[in-house]
A = this chain, B = another copy of it.
Amino acid sequence: MKAPRTVPVVLALLLGAAAATSQPAPRTMAEILAASTASDWRTPDPVETLYLELATGRVVIELAPAFAPRHVANVKALARAAYFDGLVILRVQDNYVVQWGDAGGTRPIAGGVPALPGEFEVTSAAMPPFTLLPDGDVYAPEVGFAAGFPAARDPAQGLGWLAHCYGMVGAGRDVATDSGGGTELYVVIGHAPRHLDRNVTLLGRVLLGMELLTALPRGSGSMGFYEQPEQRVPLLGMRVAADLPPAARTPLEVLRTDTPLFAELIESRRNRREEWFRSPAGHIELCNVPLPVRQPKS
């Protein structure tokens, strides 16, 4: 890094830093992560972690029971009853979603229920602690992070909800708001379709393996559905991580979003100080905040 480690006071003020005659220069994300300690990271609960198993590898999904408890419980129950085994990815719509489910609609629902009322919002009382982003949002009164997920809230309404950022996982539904439930799941693979917030149940986020979904051929049918059955990608299955022996799990750590270090990371992304940047933005939008995941050294 060629960036100086101290900055003059005027520049520090321009950077939005606290007034001081001299202070350390803002750190880059790489420097912040390099300086992180064990307590800055958390290990996702294997009981609330799903593995989508494909022939090409494993997609790791962290579930969000704080926001969608009934959907999360249902998807886990379906997974444990092997409901998803042999189902298919049936839709890849460019700049939108990858979706999997029962193409024929004939698979008996085992272990869980076919549909649930939508879990589109939670009350403020049920909302996990919130790390507020300072730059506002086009869609919601407030945005930030809750339980490690990108989220939004409306204090006037006393409601909070998960946000449709890249990598978020939701439960597809038909027109009726109680027609979803998790038998058909989608992952956001494009620019955040935030207009879906509060319209469909989000229940988790992909932590690892996005590229196994995003590099799939796009479907040529309406809404990105594959038109030929042979184009569909079979699921080997979905598994709850806790049900696998520890040696068969994928160890992961996720950066906590409720720490001073994460606040510093946000600031480092609002004002990029890497040498390449000529004009740091001074702001950041919810879905552009990185949520780092690492595979711990064994």
Interface of A toward B, CB cutoff 8 Å: 92, 94-95, 118, 120, 135-139, 165-167, 174-175, 177, 190-195, 197-199, 210-211, 214-218, 269, 272, 275-281, 283-285, 287-288
Select A166's contact among B95, B280, B283, beta carbons within 8 Å.
B95
Whether the Cβ atoms of A277 and B199 lie closer than 8 Å is: yes
Minimum CB distance partner of A280 in chain B: B195
Additional 16 contacts, C-beta under 8 A, given A139-B281, A175-B275, A194-B281: A135-B138, A165-B191, A166-B190, A174-B276, A191-B192, A192-B288, A194-B288, A195-B280, A195-B281, A195-B288, A198-B278, A198-B279, A199-B276, A199-B278, A214-B218, A215-B215
Whether the Cβ atoms of B276 and A175 lie closer than 8 Å is: yes
Specify which of A198, A214, A275 lies most central, judged by the most chain B CB atoms within 10 Å of its CB. A214
Whether the Cβ atoms of B284 and A138 lie closer than 8 Å is: yes
Residues of B within 8 A of A276 (CB): 174-175, 199
Cβ distance A175 to chain B, nearest Cβ, rounded Å: 5
Minimum CB distance partner of A290 in chain B: B95
Interface residues of A, dominant DSSP = loop
Minimum CB distance partner of A275 in chain B: B175
Select A288's contact among B193, B214, B281, beta carbons within 8 Å.
B193
Whether the Cβ atoms of B139 and A138 lie closer than 8 Å is: no
A-B contact pairs, 30 of them (CB 8 A): A92-B215, A95-B167, A95-B210, A95-B214, A120-B279, A135-B138, A136-B136, A137-B138, A138-B284, A139-B281, A139-B285, A166-B191, A174-B276, A175-B276, A191-B191, A191-B192, A191-B287, A191-B288, A194-B281, A194-B285, A194-B288, A195-B281, A195-B288, A198-B278, A198-B279, A211-B218, A214-B214, A215-B215, A215-B216, A215-B217
